[in-house]
Amino acid sequence: MDIFITPFAANGFMMQALIAGILVSIACAIAGTFVILRGLAFIGDAMAHGVLPGIALAVLFGFSGIIGAAIGAVFMIGGITLITERSRLSSDTAIGLLFIGMLSLGVVIVSRSTSFSGDLTRILFGEILGISRSAIWLQLGATIIVAATAFMCARPFLLLSFDPEQAEVAGFSVRLFHNIMLFMIAAVVIVSFQTVGTLLVFGLLIAPAGAGALLARRIQAMMAWAALFGILSMYIGLLISYHFNLAAGASIILVAVSIFFIVFVIQNLRKNNLSENIGGRHGRGI
């Protein structure tokens, strides 16, 4: 049992990492569920990378990375909204270029810094093992805000996921609630980048919620599964990184992605068995 508990019990930094990880997992589970239901994976990805220049500026000029990320996110939301409304055919192309442009801009800005590669690695992959107490408080606040937003907007968010036209006709402004959803995703990205980094936060947003989508019959259940898988990934990832001296952020995401594919394969096997049984009943074997 020691190898499962001692790393956290004996090391303050491991315990703090786990607490931060759990909070991030819950926020990502809630936001990630809607990212998947609304098919916003690409926009979520763009958002996660688009905040880089803001953080880079923060590193260069020595202000809070959170504020830098927030600036980057506001810029990205503005850009994405503009592109989605103006271009009818190729919004994915334009958004893709926007996020690659932002990523490059971020790297260019960081390259002015004296400790270039160290800063860049920290931004891209996070530093969960060096998380501060104040960062944990901030994450707690953000997680509560994200949960409250999802709770208060439950009806329009559900209608939006079901059919945006239906939401509009029911009296919920698609534009307003879509933007609220984007800000919710941005908030998660902003407070999560310290934990797993801008490159990997997307994995935490998508993988646990994706696995949840495969299992759940209800959206609440999907969120619960997502939170469970996220927390499990945090715990297992931290443990692996501790015992084998591996990069923590990447280990966590690797576990999360593995869980997704394990669930994916199991679900597919079960489905195949099911259809074989049905085929057999109707006398339509091979």
Which positions lie near other proteins, rule CB under 8 A? 37, 39, 152-153, 155-156, 158-159, 161-163, 165-166, 168-172, 213, 216-219, 221-222
- Nearest of 228, 251, 279, 255 to residue 125 by alpha carbon: 251
Q: Please tell me the distance from the alpha carbon of residue 240 to that of residue 3, in angstroms, as a whole number.
A: 10
Q: Please tell me the distance from the alpha carbon of residue 94 to that of residue 193, in angstroms, as a whole number.
A: 24
Q: For residue 165, give the 3-state DSSP assignment.
A: helix
The nearest distance, CB 214 to other proteins, in angstroms, is 9
Question: Which residue, 101 or 164, has its beta carbon nearer to other proteins?
Answer: 164
Question: Which residue, 100 or 163, has its beta carbon nearer to other proteins?
Answer: 163
Instruction: Tell me the two tokens of residue 27.
Output: 């926020």
- Nearest of 19, 24, 8 to residue 203 by alpha carbon: 24
Question: Which residue, 10 or 152, has its beta carbon nearer to other proteins?
Answer: 152
The nearest distance, CB 269 to other proteins, in angstroms, is 17
Q: Please tell me the distance from the alpha carbon of residue 80 to that of residue 90, in angstroms, as a whole number.
A: 12
Question: Which residue, 15 or 158, has its beta carbon nearer to other proteins?
Answer: 158
The nearest distance, CB 109 to other proteins, in angstroms, is 38
Q: Please tell me the distance from the alpha carbon of residue 208 to that of residue 117, in angstroms, as a whole number.
A: 30
